[in-house]
Amino acid sequence: MTKENLGVKSWSTGRAAWVLVLFAFVLSLSLAADKVSAHFGLSDLSANQLDKKDKKDKKEKKDKKKSDDDDDDDDDDDGKDKKKEEKSAKSDSKASVKTESKAKTNAAPNVALMAEKLEAVNATIETDPVPHGGDAADDPAIWVHPQDPSKSTIIGTDKQGGLAVYDLNGKQIQYLADGLMDNVDLRDGFKLGNETASIVAAGNRKDNSIAIYKVNPQTRQLENVAARAIKHGVTAYGMCLYRNAKVGKLYYFATSKSGDVEQWELFDSNGKVDAKQVRKFKVGSVVEGCVADDELGHFYVSEEAVGIWKYGAEPEAGDKRTQVDKVGGGNLVADVEGLAIAYGADGKGYLLVSSQGNYSYVVYRREGNNEFVKRFRVGDGSGIDGAEETDGIDVTTANLGPAFPQGVFVAQDGFNDKGNQNFKLVPLQAILKLGSE
Ligand code: CA
Ligand code: CA
Ligand code: CA
Ligand code: CA
C-alpha cells in the first residue's frame, strides 16, 4: 500500500516538472510574439480595428434605437427606460445618496440636477400604488360626488392591467382587471335609459376597444355599460371626452401613435352606451394626451415630440388648428403628455399640461390665445414624494370638502418612492397662489 502510494507520488512529481518546462517555453514564445507585433505596429492595427468595430456597434445601437422609436406597436416605455437610465447615470453621485436614504430602487433621478429649478408644490395625499409594476399607472380622472364632495373619487388607469378607483384619502376602493387601460376620462349628465349618469370611458389597448362605465353614486364604483365591444379604427393610444355643454352630446376622441385622431359620438342604446365614428384627422407624429373644453368647444392634443395643438371639438370642425406651445423654443420639454382644464367662471380658467421631459407642468390661460401663465413642479414633501416623469393629469376647481376646498390637481407619478407607480393629489390653491413667471 505504502509502495503504491510512493510510486504514484514520484510519477506525479515527474509530470509536474514537465508541465513547468512546457509552460516556460510557451511563455517565452508569447513574449517574443508581443515584441514582434509591437515592433511592426500590429497592436496599433488591432486597436484601429477595435475602434472601427466600436463605431459600427454604436451605429447599430443607434439604428436599433431609431427602429424602436419608429415601431408603432412599441410602447413608449422602452425609450423612457433608456432616458431614465441616462438620467440616473448623470445624477449618479447625488442620486445614490438619495436612493440609499430612501432604501428604494425606484427613487426618482435627482430633480435638482435637471436643467430647471422651478417653484414646487407638495402633494397632501397619494393613492395606493397600482397593482402592476414598471411603467403602469398612466392617467387619472376626477369624479365629483353630486351630494357630498368629500366622497369624490379618483379613477386611475393601470395600463398593465385595468382601472382603479380611489377615495380622497388615496385608498383603493375598486379594481377592474378589464384590460390595458391607457387613458381615462369622464363626464356627468349623460342620459342613459331612464337615468342621468356620469360616464367613464377608457381606451383598452388589449383589444383596441372603447371601455365604457357609469359611476354608481351609492357605491362610487364603476359598472360596465358598453353596448358591445366597440373597436377603434386607429390603434388607440390615448383618449379624452368632449361634452357639448349646450346640447349635451358626448364624444370620445381616440389618439394614436400614428398621429391620427378619431372622434366618436357616444349615444344611449336601451340603457347601454354605443358609439359611432364621426370624424378623423391627422395631427402628425405620436399623439396621446388630450382634453376638450366643453364650454368653449376646443379640442387640445399633445403631439408628444412637438407641442400642443388646438382644434375645434365639434365633428364638423375640420383640421384647422393653432399651436398653443411647442418643444424647443417654447415652455415644453418632450414628451408633451397629459392635458387638463381648470374651469373658472365666465369662460376663464386654466389649461394645464405635463411637460414630462423636465418633470414639470405648464399653465396657460383657458380663454383667448392660451397665454402662458407659469410653470411648476410637484416636489418631495414631508412624507409624500414628488411627482416625476408624469404621463396623465387631471384637475377640478370644484370644492371637494375640507381636504381640497378649492379643488385638486392629480398627477401620475413615474417614480413612486414606496412601491409601484401611483397618483399624487395637490390642493389646487397651492398651485394657483404660486407667482406667475
Ligand atoms: Ca410612463
Ligand atoms: Ca406618451
Ligand atoms: Ca401615457
Ligand atoms: Ca415620485
With pLDDT > 90 as the criterion, what percentage of the chain qualifies?
71
Q: Kindly report the CATH number assigned to the domain that includes residue 365.
A: 2.120.10.30
Å from CA of 389 to ligand 4 middle: 9
**Residue 322 is part of which domain span?**
119-430
Residue 278 CA to ligand 4 centre (angstroms): 39
Does residue 190 belong to any structural domain of this protein? yes
Residue 356's pLDDT band, with cuts at 50, 70 and 90, is: very high
So what's the pLDDT on residue 212? 98
Does residue 65 fall inside a structural domain? no
pLDDT score recorded for residue 19: 52
Q: Tell me, yes or no, whether 5 lies in a domain.
A: yes
Average pLDDT over residues 288-310: 98
Distance 360 CA to ligand 1 centre (A): 14
Rounded distance, CA 57 to CA 314, Å? 50
Task: Please report whether residue 18 resides in a domain.
Answer: yes
Residue 154 lies in a domain: yes
Task: Indicate whether 142 and 23 sit together in one domain.
Answer: no
d(CA 240, CA 128): 24
User: 414 and 305, same structural domain?
Assistant: yes
**pLDDT of 142 over the 60 cut:** yes
Q: Give the pLDDT confidence score for residue 120 in this predicted structure.
A: 95
- Shared domain for 169 and 285, answered yes or no, is yes
- Write down the pLDDT at residue 115: 46
CA distance 120 to 388: 12
Burial class (CB in 10 A: 0-12, 13-18, 19+), 162: buried
Residue 111 domain flag? no
C-alpha of residue 182 to centroid of ligand 1, in Å:
10
Q: Name the phi and psi angles at 167, rounded to 5.
A: -85, 180
Co-location of 201 and 327 in the same domain: yes
Residue 136 lies in a domain: yes
Q: Which residues contact 110 (CB under 8 A, 6 or more apart)?
A: 91, 94, 95, 98
Kindly report which listed range (22-36, 109-123, 257-271, 367-381) carries the lowest average pLDDT score.
Answer: 22-36
DSSP per-residue codes, 264-280:
EEEEEETTEEEEEEEEE
Q: Ligand 1 mean position to 260 CA, how many Å?
A: 21
Residues 31 and 154 in one domain: no
- Is 112 within the bounds of a domain? no
Mean pLDDT of the chain: 82
The region, left, alpha or beta by phi > 0 then psi within -120 to 50, assigned to residue 370 is left
- Do 18 and 148 lie in a common domain? no
**Which residue matches cell numbers 394614436?**
256
How confident is the model at residue 433, as a pLDDT? 81
**Residues 34 and 158 occupy one common structural domain:** no
Q: Which has more pLDDT, 5 or 23? A: 23
Q: In the structure, what pLDDT confidence band is assigned to residue 386 with cuts at 50, 70 and 90?
A: very high
Centre of ligand 2 to C-alpha 27, Å, is: 59
pLDDT at 434: 76
Question: What pLDDT shows up at residue 260?
Answer: 98
Confidence of residue 172 (pLDDT cuts 50, 70, 90): very high
The mean pLDDT value for 401-421 works out to 97
Does 338 have pLDDT greater than 70? yes
Q: Is the peptide bond before 335 cis (omega within 30 degrees of 0)?
A: yes
**pLDDT score at 435:** 72
Q: How many domains does the chain have?
A: 2
Residue 246 · residue 313 · CB < 8 Å: no
117: confidence class by pLDDT, cuts 50, 70, 90:
confident
Q: What is the mean pLDDT of residues 427-431?
A: 97
- Is the per-residue pLDDT at 71 higher than 70? no
**Per mean pLDDT, which of 8-17, 34-43, 298-307 is the most reliable?**
298-307
Clarify whether residues 208 and 309 are in a common domain: yes
| Ligand nearest to the Cα of 104, by number | 4
Pairwise CA distance, residues 85 & 221, whole Å: 38
- pLDDT tens, position by position, 185-215: 999 999 999 999 999 999 999 999 999 999 9
pLDDT given at position 109: 62
